[in-house]
Amino acid sequence: MESWVIVIIIFSSLFLFLIFGLPIAFTMGGLATIYTFLFWNIKGTYVLVTTALGQLTSFVLIAVPLYIFLGVTLEKTGIAEDMYDTVYKWLGVIKGGLAVGTIFICAIFAAMVGTSSAGTITMGLIALPSMLKRGYSKFLVVGSISAGGALGILIPPSIIMILYGSLTEVSVGKMFFGGLIPGIILTMIFIIYILVICKIKTNYGPSIPKGERFTFREKFVSLKNMIIPLGLVLLILGTIYTGICTPTESAAIGAFGTLICAISMKKLNWSIFYEVGTRTIHITSFVMWIMVGAVVFSQLVIATGAGETITKIVIGMNLNRWVILCIMQFIFMILGCLIDPAGIMVLCCPVFVPIIINLGFDPLWFGVLFVVNMEMAYITPPFGYNLFYMKAIVPKEITLENIYQSIIPFVGLQLIALILMMLFPEVILWLPNHMIVK
């Protein structure tokens, strides 16, 4: 059978089942198993099993449950609430200050956790009622929390980056530091936008009334709430940057450090610990099943020559390589409205990354561009995860339509950041090229 026919059969089947709403992990894994058996009988399925087992026992993937455990611990023990209290005392006097503080806390959470959900849910529960109570625009409140939470997959450590590195054999440590400067830039873009819009529309983010403001002593004392979170950030990123630890080893240090901090602050009991453990297991299982489906489907694509065929077709079109890159980014945007980011990665990377390498682009740079693009996926309807989280948290008077309206300017800001990083690759590549990494 011709390879191009196999390509059509494989991907038509995949999209057909996805349209019917079947889970992407079981769709990819099931199709890979069926087609492998049809093409190569039982010997082929044995190869799938051994390949999946080898991938899931990879040292790199041990970091996934560790970072999830770290994030869930921070969420359940109330450490994030203490951080917000500090930001509230210092920035509440500025117009839009609470929204700025929310973005700042989300960025710190991102540097400790590696997921979008932790920052979004925690700030939604803590910051949203506080801002609404003080007269903030519901559009600014919901938009800043949704977009701020999405920073969790860009600012290292990032679980999406770990999965990308595992699938493409790009250094996870370099991926982490490739996302650091873009993460800081995007955080500053969000903050500048909030300050400007609150200056133009004075009713969007009013400052705290004078009677409710805090003394300098109260502000200074509240800084103790930031010591542990910032210490964890320095511990995790510092050990990776200096080459002392791999990202996986650093994840173990961060998880253990978080546990010790929660115990020392008397914020952890057996009930919370049980909740943290079960939540970690649930999320980790979800991620790992996606990885199983991704690995076996990738093996099918490679074995049938489908990936090579698609690469030849794209290269043979004689399009400018930047046009091809833009088409890929556009495909990511469209898929981001329909499929979760992990699913998009495992669906596209086996096909796109070989093309990118053939075109002479750096796969590390492409990987960070993908993650920036996926930030938009987290806040674009109808499948944006952060929009689901917000709908579950916001009061009844804030409709789903309001939530969609609130993210429009932030999606625009993310798109601007993506274009800047495409035009200036050194924003991503400079730090990884000047670091020690294992």
167-207 per-position pLDDT tens digit = 888 888 889 889 999 999 999 999 999 999 999 988 888 88
The first and second tokens of residue 11, run together, are 């991907």
Task: Give the pLDDT score at 218.
Answer: 85
125-166 per-position pLDDT tens digit = 778 888 888 888 999 999 999 999 889 889 887 888 988 888
Percent of the chain whose pLDDT exceeds 70: 88
Domain boundary assignment for the chain: 3-434
Contacts of residue 240, Cβ cutoff 8 Å, sequence gap at least 6:
156, 173, 176, 177, 246, 247, 250, 437
| pTM, full prediction | 0.75
279-296 per-position pLDDT tens digit = 888 877 876 777 677 677
Is the per-residue pLDDT at 30 higher than 80? Answer: yes
Poorest-pLDDT segment among 317-321, 402-406, 415-419, 433-437: 433-437
Contacts of residue 356, Cβ cutoff 8 Å, sequence gap at least 6:
325, 328, 363, 366
CB atoms within 10 A of CB 49: 12
- Dist. CA 131–CA 65, nearest whole Å: 33
Task: Give the pLDDT score at 43.
Answer: 66
Is the per-residue pLDDT at 238 higher than 60? Answer: yes
